[in-house]
Structure 1
């Protein structure tokens, strides 16, 4: 019985640790701008996470929502591209026919240690035999205390108009205990896209 309770505790703690939740915490839009995907030519998608693999996964996920109009930065901003010259970047993006750019950047990782105290649970009534199960000294079971760590990732997503060279939409999302970079970027892209549609920014 004790082993069973410990197993249940372990599974429960794993569920808590692996539970993933992405939500949008704030957003802003320029009321004078809206996007109709069908009318777009090209949208440059740029992700800035901790490593190249995460960047590519995030860009691919956002591109999938743009109905063939999205171009991931890893296919465009190659090694021969002068990334240190702002004017060169602006001119090239405009000349290449981009309407907009979407950036996704990891801006914070918050770690919180959660303490779960020991819990005592009583055995069911059918255990209380043999003189009150030996004078009731063994009629309860205690699960040990344990610690778990919750990680919350904050991602900033911006949309820029290439023509006016101004930001036209911005949002922050929080992902709690994401199950890997791929899962997190999928959820962030999905939540952001839904929010843009809900606000009427994307038609």
Structure 2
């Protein structure tokens, strides 16, 4: 029999708000050790709390797994990468001393409304007497995000890894960032994008 804390961990893992839809590792580039990976989230400026949470959570998750990383927002502030091309971002990361760059791009953000119909539950005494119980329907508002994350080797400008994912109804920016970073780092480790 599984211990209660193991069941709780399995339940939390199954409740992740982020699902990977596809991922790819560049097989032409051998996995390498990186001394400093810069994490740069590209999200609209009015969602700076999401950017801060995504970058910091991803940097923390990478570092915790033995891949030293730093948030671009923490290192440079909110406007440093505004309007920059991919090449310019790589050059800035290189000047900072980073040998890897991980970008997180928000490719879609939408709000949804759906009607959840009511449910009839039978009475424990049967339908003959006592009737049943009815849970009324309701309208549920939701939030959906689509993401693309790319990992670059700063020295060669080559893409090492790319992953697409979707996040559904995160409770907060921190919950979104935590779920996202755990899923992506787990997939990167599985695909051996970096070595320690």
Shorter-chain-normalised TM-score: which range? 0.7 to 0.9
Unaligned runs of 5+ in 1: 1-18, 129-135
Q: Distance in 2 between matches of 1:142 and 1:94?
A: 62
Q: Residue 194 of structure 1: CA displacement?
A: 0.7
Residue pair 1:41, 1:97 contacting (<8 A) in 2 also? no
Q: Distance in 2 between matches of 1:121 and 1:81?
A: 57
Q: Residue 145 of structure 1: CA displacement?
A: 2.3
Q: Distance in 2 between matches of 1:139 and 1:123?
A: 6
Structure possessing the higher radius of gyration over alpha carbons: 1
Q: Residue 82 of structure 1: CA displacement?
A: 7.7
1:92-107 alignment to 2 at 5 Å? 92-107=92-107
- Post-superposition Cα deviations, 1:141-162, rounded to whole Å, max 9, x if no partner, equal 4332222233322111111111
Residue pair 2:23, 2:164 contacting (<8 A) in 1 also? yes
Which position in structure 2 is the counterpart of 1:47? 41
Q: Residue 23 of structure 1: CA displacement?
A: 1.4
Residue pair 1:120, 1:141 contacting (<8 A) in 2 also? yes
RMSD after superposition: 2.9
Question: So what's the TM-score if we normalise by structure 1?
Answer: 0.71
Q: Distance in 1 between matches of 2:57 and 2:49?
A: 12
Q: How many residues align?
A: 175
Which position in structure 1 is the counterpart of 2:58? 62
Q: Residue 85 of structure 1: CA displacement?
A: 6.5
Unaligned runs of 5+ in 2: 1-14
Q: Residue 81 of structure 1: CA displacement?
A: 5.1
Question: So what's the TM-score if we normalise by structure 2?
Answer: 0.73
**Which secondary structure does the structure 1 equivalent of 2:76 belong to?**
coil
Q: Residue 139 of structure 1: CA displacement?
A: 2.6
Mean Cα displacement is larger for which, 180-189 or 26-35?
26-35
